A and B are shown apart, each in its own frame.
Chain A
Amino acid sequence: MAASEQKTVLQFPPSFSSTLSAKVHPLVIFNICDCYVRRPDQAERVIGTLLGSVLPDGTVDIRNSYAVPHNESSGQVALDIDYHHNLLLSHQKVNPKEVIVGWYSTGLGVTGGSALIHEFYSREVPNPIHLTVDTGFRNGEGTIKAYVSVNLSLGDRPLAAQFQEVPLDLRMVEAERIGFDVLKSTMVDKIPSDLEGMEISMQRLLALIDDVYKYVDDVVEGHTAPDNNIGRFISDTVASLPKLSPPAFDKLVNDNVQDHLLLLYLSSITRTQLSLAEKLNTAAQIL
């Protein structure tokens, strides 16, 4: 009797994770670091939920997070589920568009306990993202990685869950980019005023233009190999400057400056008028 041998094949499901990527807002990193610093003494790592939304092109946008108290002992992990749900409801009252998109943990790499937690989260959300933030700086740098779990099955039997890494993008909104210098240092004495900020921006712009100028010089003199793409880019940028003759440009600028000076004058007058009016209003009544 010819017994047809059933070949069991290790199946890898089609990797959809190649199109999936994640974007993280710096607020999430701040939250995680803060929770890590405040963790109870006996805990080695912090675990929490990630909130955000899934963008139409499939990327997961991670916008907020909160820590969930948990207990970890050898092989067993206990997560405070009530707390998790309570906080989720509270957060959704403020911003109903934020839903669970995954969970995070501090520490490098994925441990055995993580698989259990990941299973719990996959019951809440179809494809949770697992974010690890290495607060221990074990590789000499703070690595932030995102993983998606993929089920490995042998034939029909589920074998293991494999955590596959997903490209991560640290995205910063303009408002946050402004305050970035402020956020970088441990203590800033005052919030930078407009003028200082503008000075810094101008200096950076000047430095950039200097670099480009040097590059063009080098290419012309033959020190660097010319790159057509860069050349085209530079010429596009330069061509986008409006062609104005110097007198026309001067007139434009002067008119603008005069308008603004007029406004300045008006507002200063208003201010003096205000102090006068106030003095008159509370002056003693002579009857």
Chain B
Amino acid sequence: MANTTTPTMARSFLQVAATEEVAPPLRAVQIEGLVVLKIIKHCKELSPSLVTGQLLGLDVGSVLEVTNCFPFPIREEDEEIEAEGANYQLEMMRCLREVNVDNNTVGWYQSMLFGCFQTVELIETFMNYQENIKRCVCIIYDPSRANQGVLALKALKLSDSFMDLYRSNNFTGEKLREKNLSWVDIFEEIPIKVSNSALISAFMTELEDDTPVTQCDYDRLQLSTSPYLERNVEFLIECMDDLSIEQQKFQYYYRNLSRQQAQQQAWLQKRRSENMSRKAAGEEPLPEEDPSNPVFKPIPEPSRLDSFLITNQIANYCNQINGYVTDLKDRLISYPGFWAELQPIIFDEGLA
């Protein structure tokens, strides 16, 4: 019969329009080999200055695909050049559209040296992007680690709870405890996958050097470590200084707060005793609160954002040092074994 509808019929149009689509959480970022090469090239050419660029691609379900990118020219801090920067961006996007490149902005990339990327500017840029695009990601590349044979590419995203908090611009201890947010929750790292079209992998397989000698990447096996480690520890020390300054700010605030509270109590006592005497005299009791009294002015609590960022940086440096040193330790431990095996071959057989 025409009017028996099964309960699993499609929902009416109104129902569908009313339900908001919940985007699946971002699980991975899929980058094309082309983009990786472009980022490496751009960051390396203009290092040591920091460079940025735009990422283009598609947002597919729980995977964000990055299919192309273009670099930004280095901008001076000048108002007129701001417009030029926007023009450049529009021009590039238009030109790329003509050659059928995906035209959606999905984020931006930037280079950073030695892992110090946790700055307020990064967060602000993220917020700017988030207003226009539903899902954006920031890719960080560290060109200094390429000398050690590591591809240091990271995809970052601000966590949602942090973004809400940032919008309300309220970083007091209370709010943070409420949301159960600690400094680890500010940035979320997303795993990266690299994909290539079949044509390119065919070409690359073919163009691979046939001689195994050149295939070996000796950079990785280097034992000299001091410069990198020294810089890391230097930055760590600087950050510690910054952190201690921030902590002193907090201590100062708490001291002021407790002093103010003591003052408030004293004033309140005085008021109460005054009221008592007034009641005895039969007069109207004075209010127990006096908002115009400077004693009651609430002292603003310093924002914890800076200290969080600094803590993040320190943690990052520590992690880097940790990782690097463990790596090195493994190398050093394996080398004597290596050397022990080689020695009889080389020295005893009279080759040297």
Contacts and interface: CB of A to CB of B under 8 A. Distances in A.
Interface string A54-66: 0000000001100
A281 B254 CA distance: 11
A208 B216 contact: yes
A281 B171 CA distance: 12
B76 to A, nearest CB: 12
Given A278-B311, A287-B261, A261 B329 contact: yes
A250 B336 contact: yes
B271 interface: no
A270 B314 contact: yes
A263 B183 CA distance: 23
A216 B352 CA distance: 14
Interface in A121-144: 135, 137, 141-142, 144
A201 B217 CA distance: 6
Contacts of B333: 257
B48 interface: no
A186 B153 CA distance: 18
A-B interface, 7 closest residue pairs, ranked by CB to CB distance from nearest:
A175-B146, A93-B73, A267-B318, A38-B100, A204-B216, A30-B34, A183-B33
Nearest to B177: A282
Interface string A29-46: 111011111111000000
A158 interface: no
B127 interface: no
A182 B146 CA distance: 15
Interface stretch (A11-19, A188-196, A222-230): A188-196
Contacts of B212: 204, 207-208, 211
B176 to A, nearest CB: 5
A120 interface: no
A95 B196 contact: no
Contacts of A234: 351
B143 A257 contact: no
B203 A29 contact: yes
12 contacts: A31-B34, A93-B73, A179-B40, A179-B151, A202-B334, A208-B213, A238-B351, A243-B352, A261-B329, A278-B182, A278-B311, A283-B173
A89 B44 CA distance: 21
B276 to A, nearest CB: 26
Contacts of A189: 193
Interface string B310-352: 0100110111011101111111111110011011011000011
B292 interface: no
B216 A260 contact: no
A168 to B, nearest CB: 11
Contact of A33 (B68, B71, B147, B203): B203
Contact of A201 (B153, B177, B220): B220
Residue from B37, B147, B333, B345 having most chain A Cβ neighbours under 10 A: B37
A235 B223 CA distance: 23
A284 interface: yes
Contacts of A209: 342
Interface residues of B, number: 108
Interface of A: 25-27, 29-31, 33-40, 63-64, 67, 69, 80, 83, 86-87, 90, 93-95, 135, 137, 141-142, 144, 170, 173-180, 182-192, 194-195, 197-198, 201-202, 204-205, 207-209, 211, 213, 216, 234-235, 238-239, 241, 243, 246, 249-250, 253, 256-257, 260-261, 263-264, 267-268, 270-271, 274, 277-278, 281-285, 287
Given A198-B331, A208-B216, A187 B99 contact: no
Interface stretch (B88-96, B107-115, B118-126, B129-137): B88-96
B250 interface: yes
Contact of B151 (A36, A182, A263, A274): A182
Residue from A135, A175, A178, A192 having most chain B Cβ neighbours under 10 A: A175
Nearest to B143: A175
Contact of B208 (A184, A211, A263): A184
B344 to A, nearest CB: 11
A4 B183 CA distance: 95
B199 A135 contact: yes
B5 interface: no
A188 B199 contact: no
Given A184-B201, A241-B352, A25 B322 contact: no
A111 B28 CA distance: 44
Contacts of B266: none
Contact of B99 (A67, A204, A241, A256): A67
Contacts of A246: 340, 343
A185 B201 contact: yes
A270 B236 contact: yes
Contact of B202 (A137, A191, A243): A137
B200 A34 contact: yes
Contacts of A180: 204, 208
Contacts of B204: 26, 29, 180, 183-184
A174 B207 contact: no
Contact of B95 (A86, A207, A281): A86
Contact of A26 (B37, B177, B191, B342): B37
A178 B88 contact: no
